[in-house]
Amino acid sequence: MARPEPTDTARETPWVRQPERSNLATLRLMTWISLTFGRPVGRLVLLGISAYFVAFAPKARRASRDYLRRALGREPGLADIARHVHAFASTIHDRVYLLADRFDLFDIEVEGEPLMHDLLGRGEGALLFGAHLGSFEVVRALGRRHPGLRIALTMFEDNARKIKATLEAINPAARPEIIPLGQVDTMLRVRDALEDGQFVGLLADRSLDADETRSVPLLGDTARLPVGAFRMAAMLRHRIVFMAGLYLGGNRYRIRFVELADFSQVERGARAAAVDTALLAYARELERCCRDAPDNWFNFYDFWARSEPTAT
């Protein structure tokens, strides 16, 4: 089995420098339109928003083309890029209904539900490693079938503020527990949540500042993925479950759960090798999702950039 290449360190990852185009006023307006006039009308408005981004976001358009070339195995056309952008816009739009607990509007299938049912039955927590892929909010639909499912989210402080603003605009009652990353007590809070039987979700495909990364095979090339979360799982001796909520078009979603590693069974001396194996397994599942549902990868920047970015 191939091993990840030696650790790299990025001074600043490119996605950090991408400007934030959305704002709270726009979010509130779109929420009002969607909840007042319904999802069909909201999706009509969405077509105009998608067209705007395709026309006036050249960096995102180029990144989309580069990614789709890898995922599709051919040169993508403008229609492919438009579908990619519209899939992203659709998941953002559907967030309005999912956070408002309107799961009845969607056709949701689940792969790997027995795994989650088994973990819940044992009262065991687990780390849910997702990516900027599809919709995380749709995973909450599983809680309707399993009322005991509790998920805490780990995220950087700036993203936590955005999530809080989103929830205040849509459904303040749907406020999840958020564990800020990069704090002195982050690992202790993650440990306490896991020992309380909660699932702790994080997006494992992006790193910030000087986070350590490993180069792994992804879509026919190599990509740097952060290794810190995998090391944390090894230190806490818990399971890692890959998680994705893939958007399949219309009102259809597929939730996917796949176990990547069980560090409770790994001895201390074998942890480094187990971390490498888990990271490669994560990259394989990420690639499988990108092949199965190419329009679901929402890292709209040059993810495969080989040069070291320069801090600004």
177-200, pLDDT tens digit by residue?
Answer: 788 887 888 899 999 999 999 999
* Confidence class for position 16, pLDDT limits 50, 70, 90: very low
Tell me if 105 sits within 8 A of 253, measured CB to CB: no
Domains of the chain with bracketed CATH: 19-296 (3.40.1130)
Contacts 24+ apart (CB under 8 A), 306-312: 308/10, 308/11, 309/10, 309/11, 309/12, 309/13, 309/14, 310/11, 310/12, 311/11, 311/12, 312/12, 312/17
pLDDT in tens, 25-42: 666 777 788 888 989 998
Write the secondary structure of 103-122 as one string of H (helix), E (strand) and C (coil): HHHCEEEEECHHHHHHHHHH
Helix, strand, coil % over all residues of the chain, rounded to 5: 50, 20, 30
User: What's residue 123's pLDDT?
Assistant: 85
